[in-house]
Amino acid sequence: MFGEGPRDARVVLVGEQPGDKEDVAGEPFVGPAGQLLDRALADSGIERSATYVTNIVKHFKWTPRGKRRIHQKPNATEVNACWPWLEAEVNAIGPDIVVCLGATAAQGILGRQFRVTQQRGEILESSHGWRVTATVHPSAILRADDREQQYEAFVRDLRAVAALLAGQAA
Ligand code: URA
């Protein structure tokens, strides 16, 4: 599944892989994680419609449990296999910043040594010449015990992105 958003988006948001709802809909971030992402973008002053939303892995990896399809984390081989598509998407758009949502996207773009817990919110340059920052994955917030605190920290990271965009008039 490809990403979705305007050709001239100033922000590219990169998740892990489509979930069950996304796989059915054929659109990224339309399930519960997507709803949380929409709310956080609105709270941080970024319009989702002005962002391009995609995933580092293009297919939904799952295992059956009864009638349900249970998410399975993609491995490095799957990230590497999908890399040419992400690279082409980002280079075609040429955003001001790429925002990695969670460790799979962050490590795929910034390297295996990258730690979201220690380096979230930092504005970095990737080896591909992209300006990149990383934050947590919205699904991790939905699973957290301290959901409200995690949500506030997520919005703080996104506000830094909004400030960067404001500092660089379109
Ligand atoms: N989680 C992701 O990483 N991507 C989606 O598109 C949906 C859920």
Question: Ligand 1 within 6 A of 3 CB?
Answer: no
* Spatial separation of the C-alpha atoms in residues 70 and 52, rounded to whole Å: 26
* pLDDT tens-digit readout, 130-158: 999 999 999 999 999 999 999 999 999 99
Residue type, 25: A
* pLDDT tens-digit readout, 46-71: 999 999 999 999 999 999 999 999 99
Which atom belonging to ligand 1 lies closest to the Cα atom of 105?
A: 3
Question: Ligand 1 within 6 A of 104 CB?
Answer: no
Bridge partners, residue 98, by sequence: 12, 132
* pLDDT tens-digit readout, 8-35: 999 999 999 999 999 999 999 999 999 9
Q: What is the separation, in whole angstroms, between the first and last Cα of the chain?
A: 28
pTM of the model: 0.97
| Residue 168 confidence (pLDDT) | 81
Lookup result for tokens 């949502």: 101
